[in-house]
Amino acid sequence: MDDSLPPDAQAAVLEWFDSRGRTLPFRASSDPYGILVSEVMAQQTQISRVAGRWAAFMDAFPSVQLLAAAPVAEVLRAWRGLGYNRRALNLHRAARAIVDEHGGMVPSALADLERLPGVGRYTARAVASLAFGRPVGPVDTNVRRVLLRVIAADGPMPPARLQSAADGAVPSERPADWTHALMDIGATVCRPSSPRCAECPLRPWCAFAARGTPVPARPKARDVQPFSETTRWVRGRIIDRLRDAPPGEWTRLDAQIGSHDTAAVDGAVGGLEREGLLERHRDDPRLLRLIGSEAGL
């Protein structure tokens, strides 16, 4: 089966992007380091939150050298509000690898990008496309949905075939704009339910639209555990308490947090310690602080 998109489809997508693409602060940057930061921030995080935090983070660490040299605790403090704090630790480790192994320059080769801590296939392709103009197609949830609907009417497709289709669809002259465009189409038009097919520039080539497949009704909401009762919530509250402490000082944590009893809090602390996000005082395990709270750690 031919998974390619014709030049007319590429042109329609880029024309749509020129008039309707989202304006986001980090999209104005051509700095590979700034693009890497934005893409790591965007992992599992709403783009609106990234837009609000990226500029402040870049002000705090305007170069990969400064990020690599910063104490980990400072990086974790600057990450506040973005969630999934391990990404901040990985970004710091990636900065050190860039300085130590790549002369302080973000690498442009996919293989080198994928070897950086916290950078997988998607993020590597996003940086290669957006920062270096390489004709590769990063596939996130939104892009995956767009391509599956256009090529396979929203049916299944082996991951390798989907990635090949994504790479093959990229126009060589505007790979960065193409990447942004597919992300925007998936986020604003080709939505999981109630897609706005009439507004989609890919409608003339879309197998999903041609089949006229009705969008299934949303399933009835199931009972979902409140976020405040999840381990992720209590982990975030623990890190926030340590962020609020003066740099270098220890914080005593020996009580329940929200609905989480001391056993649950201890379990969350243990997980955060194993992941390298916090450390315990050697003489009193109830005293905690962010990892690397002392300069040079």
Residue with tokens 């270096």: 132
Rounded to whole angstroms, the Cα distance separating 73 from 77 reads 6
Rounded to whole angstroms, the maximal C-alpha distance in the chain is: 68
Distance CA(189)–CA(118), nearest Å, equals 30
d(CA 153, CA 161): 15
* Residues classed as catalytic: 39
